[in-house]
Amino acid sequence: MTQRASMRILVTGASGQVGSAIARRLQDYATVIATDRAALDLSKPDSIPEILSRLAPDLIINAAAYTAVDRAESEPALAQLINAESPGVIARWCAECDISLLHFSTDYVFDGSGTRAWSEDDPPHPLSVYGSSKLAGEEQIQRAGGPFLIFRTCWIYAARGTNFMCKIATLAQTHPELRVVADQIGVPTPARFVAEAVSRIIAEGLQELRKRVRQASGVVHLAMSGETSRHQFATEIINGLRSRGVTLAVDRIVPIQTEDYPLSAPRLLNSRLNLQRLQVVFGIKPPDWRRALDLELDQLAEELFACRLPKIRL
């Protein structure tokens, strides 16, 4: 058995989009310990060290998070527990055991101002409870003193789950008109790509991982290349589904401004992420976001067709 094949990797949040994609991807060459909230509840940080010691991983990938951006405004304590306190507990356990931690953060640590892509070294300035809690998690991990790598991502989606792509596809089936913000700019990033990138980063073994982590100063932005607006992304989704034979009710996609669609938590107008460190340190050059969208649309169209098949009673 090779070192990679015998590596025990704990993936938290394995029922979520990123966690489930990573767990599936790593099964080819590692023993994956996939945990959901029932197995490892990040709202109960005191229970975490005993569970980690019992599971005895060689590497931890923390993909669990409180991601309800608007609800976090009314549940700040819970968001802080899951996004900051518990990652800190995990990081301190990793430091004591000399185990590497890979952790997922977000573009929401920035304030979304300007038009320049955010670099890893730009000063963070979150505008929401969610963003503040994720930044606090980053800071706790950095203070723990163990080996870590923080991935900041943006606009994560997949053909299944709760995300922008699935919401647009659902609404487009019954609504003749969709109103979508056109002044929020970022890059749609499928969970599938995130999983592939993480797999590449750890594929050469733990020693090489630690070397690259030091070169990256512990933080790297992980997203597709290019940029688009929410409105254009929605348009691409709808056009792509139609080209695959999916019948939709929508015939108008109206561009609006963020101020026309008020939400509890502020949204970022600029979610562009600078990917130079990802390319230089890890040798990963992400493809344009439209190429990745095609794969997700293929799967989503299949899901939609499957849902419309008549049920056969035997």
Provide the 8-state DSSP code for 309: S
CA dist., res. 165 & res. 240, Å (int) = 11
Over residues 249-287, the pLDDT tens digits come to 999 999 999 999 999 999 999 999 999 999 999 999 999
Q: Looking at residue 17, what is its pLDDT?
A: 93
Give every residue of the chain whose pLDDT is below 70, as ranges.
1-5, 306-314
78-54-22 Cα angle (round to 5): 65
**How many C-alpha atoms does 37 have within 13 Å on its Cβ side?**
8
Over residues 16-51, the pLDDT tens digits come to 999 999 999 998 888 999 999 999 999 999 999 999
Q: Which fold has domain 3-156+190-225+273-287?
A: Rossmann fold (3.40.50)
Is residue 130 part of the annotated active site? The answer reads yes
Give, for 157, the enclosing helix (H) or strand (E): strand 156-157
Residue 31: exposed, middle, or buried by beta-carbon count in 10 A (0-12, 13-18, 19+)? middle
Pairing of β 148-153 and β 156-157: unpaired
CA dist., res. 297 & res. 190, Å (int) = 11
Q: Looking at residue 48, what is its pLDDT?
A: 97
Cα distance from N-terminal residue to C-terminal residue, the chain: 46
The whole-model pTM stands at 0.92
What Rg, from alpha-carbon coordinates, does the chain have?
20
Read off the amino acid at residue 232.
Q
Exactly one of 29, 66, 108, 130 is catalytic; which is it?
130
Q: Looking at residue 237, what is its pLDDT?
A: 96
Six token digits for residue 167: 């919401």
CA 278 to chain centre: 16
Q: Looking at residue 314, what is its pLDDT?
A: 35
Q: Looking at residue 297, what is its pLDDT?
A: 95
Q: Looking at residue 29, what is its pLDDT?
A: 82
Q: Looking at residue 313, what is its pLDDT?
A: 43
Six token digits for residue 140: 């706790």
Q: Looking at residue 1, what is its pLDDT?
A: 36
- Domain residue ranges of the chain, discontinuous segments joined by +: 3-156+190-225+273-287
